[in-house]
Homo-oligomer: A and B are copies of this chain.
Amino acid sequence: MVLKTQKEPRFDLIELLFFAYRDFTGDPDTLLTEIGYGRAHHRVLHFVNRNPGLRVSDLLEILKITKQSLGRVLKQLVDDGYIEQAPGEQDRRERLLHTTPTGNALCKKLAYLQTKRINETIAKMPDGSDETIRQFLYLMIDESQRGAVAAMIAKKQKT
């Protein structure tokens, strides 16, 4: 008897993930385009908003992009008054990042669009689905990264 090394390809979940993620990011994309920003700006704004006082090098670690790539979008966000930088108190080489009230407002607006889609989806599903979905997505993350993600999510939501 032949021993199969794995079941059939899960084209269903592969394709569902593709289309679901496309539409999930489509909502904010529309708004961002209107103000001349892209998805890169969204990511920076989001993670700075969620981690006030973040160091530049920590942000690079989260986004896994280079200093030069970050530099371009971060400079725009700072110039446009969405993000501010403050020297670290202990270590004055650091530029601790945080959103301005305007930046926070934009971030909330973008999060609202995505939350709306999520809430509308979950409202159509049986009770308890929420936890199953969270668990699935969490376990889809590289094991080495799960701790950091869990820590960020556990933070109080300073909206």
Q: Which residues of A contact B (CB under 8 A)?
A: 6-24, 26, 43, 46, 50, 64, 108, 111-112, 114-122, 124-126, 129, 132-142, 145, 149, 152-153, 157, 159
A114, B140: Cα distance in complex, Å: 10
A141, B117: Cα distance in complex, Å: 9
Q: Which residues of B contact A159 (CB under 8 A)?
A: 8-9
Q: Which residues of B contact A136 (CB under 8 A)?
A: 20, 121-122, 125, 129, 133
| Stoichiometry, copies per complex | 2
Indicate if the CB atoms of B124 and A139 lie closer than 8 Å.
yes
Interface of A is mostly: helix
The residue among A26, A43, A108, A135 with the most chain B CB atoms within 10 A of its own CB is A135
Given known A-B contacts A132-B132, A135-B129, A141 and B17 have beta carbons under 8 A apart: no
